[in-house]
Amino acid sequence: MKDVSRVAVVGGGVIGLSVAWALGEAGFRVVLVDPEPGRGASWVAGGMLAPVTESWPGEDDVLALGAASLGLWPAFAERLGQTGGDPGLRTHGTLALALDSADVGTLAVLAEYLSAQGREVERLTGRELRALEPSLGPRVRSGLSVPGDLAVDNRSLLIALRDACDRVGVGFLPAAAKAVRPGGVEVGDSTVECDVAVIAAGAWSRTLHPALETVTRPVKGEILRLRARPGALPIPTRTIRAHVESRPVYLVPRADGELVLGATQYEAGYDTEVTVGGVRDLLADAEQVLPGIAEYALAECAAGLRAGSRDNLPLVGWLEPGVLAATGHHRNGLLLAPGTAASVVAMLRDGAEPDPAADPARFLSTGGRTR
């Protein structure tokens, strides 16, 4: 590969900011192109770093990639802390809960899969769960404790990443890219010239390069932010994930007393309007798990667009010489950010190969890797 010194990163969500910071630290000259950095799905997200409770039989690569990136998280957060930012890494663990007999069956499948993968999970009764988290309701029948599945405050993280980028000299161009091609990023009537362009524009990446058009798609998700009011039951300590009548729901506590409740999942193109039905279902399901939320304030309703891919794995690697993709992180972009950033640095600095599970070559008609 020819020498690379100038890199343009297109998109400044958690992926673009993490990649830009890591490349800046590694000595590259980086410009980040984004009209609104730090927004997108990353601003809306729940903040779970939870590959184990997120896993499912048949998705071994998703679990392996997620677990590898989770392993990088403590050092990633500590390095961000050293630059003055606090990403709000929360290490209290995660509980996965079941309410009715179908949910109990779903959790049993997950527990067996995890045991087969050599991952320890502790099975708990409803009584044991309520001893750990007294605000859980009486309908919670059983669950799993996964202390290694963590959480992060996504908004604090984005602020910390932006500061960290500034400190390593990343330049910010507040503009929307129109297209990305080898040697440059088209912005308005001009071109940002670079040796390598990294497409990290989340659900919008598919509009920037033809190779991404049909292999990623926007997946809408609605999410709520609640706040315990004086006199109400306190928010839980751990992240709570549950199946309520087979619908997934999660509650992620924040250090400042906020409780993030998510998330719906629809294929609705680029629609980001919050629907009445989405909010109703989330609140109804969450109330089965934590009845005390009825006394909480409803602080925010929001919707974001995940970048889904056909196999639920990201696309991190070459699309053509000079153009790298770092997109398609679907439900796990916060979790995968340290792994994706490390992988992009290794490809650009050391000429490393992409991780085969994430290599876009699996979708490209040429079938071969190009750089």
Interface ranges with ligand FAD (CB under 6 A): 10-16, 33-37, 39-42, 44-48, 176-177, 200-204, 221, 223, 262-263, 304, 306-307, 327, 329-335
Cα–Cα dist 249/251, whole Å:
7
CB 271: neighbour CB atoms within 10 A?
12
Minimum distance of ligand FAD from residue 162's CB (angstroms): 11
Q: Give bridge partners of residue 304 from the DSSP assignment.
A: 221
Minimum distance of ligand FAD from residue 137's CB (angstroms): 22
Q: Give bridge partners of residue 248 from the DSSP assignment.
A: 243
Minimum distance of ligand FAD from residue 17's CB (angstroms): 7
Residue among 76 and 204 whose Cβ is closer to ligand FAD: 204
Residue among 268 and 346 whose Cβ is closer to ligand FAD: 268
- Contact status, residue 45 vs residue 364, Cβ threshold 8 Å: no
Helices 333-350, 14-25: inter-axial angle, 10-degree rounding: 30
Minimum distance of ligand FAD from residue 77's CB (angstroms): 14
Contacts for 156 with CB less than 8 Å, ≥ 6 apart? 85, 86, 87, 88
Minimum distance of ligand FAD from residue 40's CB (angstroms): 3
Minimum distance of ligand FAD from residue 3's CB (angstroms): 26
Q: Which of 211, 75, 84, 91 lies closest to 151, judged by CA?
A: 91
Cα–Cα dist 38/61, whole Å:
28
Cα–Cα dist 64/69, whole Å:
9
Residue among 142 and 212 whose Cβ is closer to ligand FAD: 212
Contacts for 82 with CB less than 8 Å, ≥ 6 apart? none
Minimum distance of ligand FAD from residue 348's CB (angstroms): 18
- Contact status, residue 15 vs residue 332, Cβ threshold 8 Å: no
Minimum distance of ligand FAD from residue 314's CB (angstroms): 8
Q: What tokens does 142 get?
A: 């059983």
Residue among 142 and 358 whose Cβ is closer to ligand FAD: 358
Q: What angle do CA 38, 277, 247 make, to 5 degrees?
A: 85
Listing DSSP states for 49-85 in one string gives E-TTTT--TT-HHHHHHHHHHHHHHHHHHHHHHHTT-
Residue among 200 and 290 whose Cβ is closer to ligand FAD: 200
Residue among 37 and 85 whose Cβ is closer to ligand FAD: 37
Cα–Cα dist 192/320, whole Å:
18
Minimum distance of ligand FAD from residue 19's CB (angstroms): 9
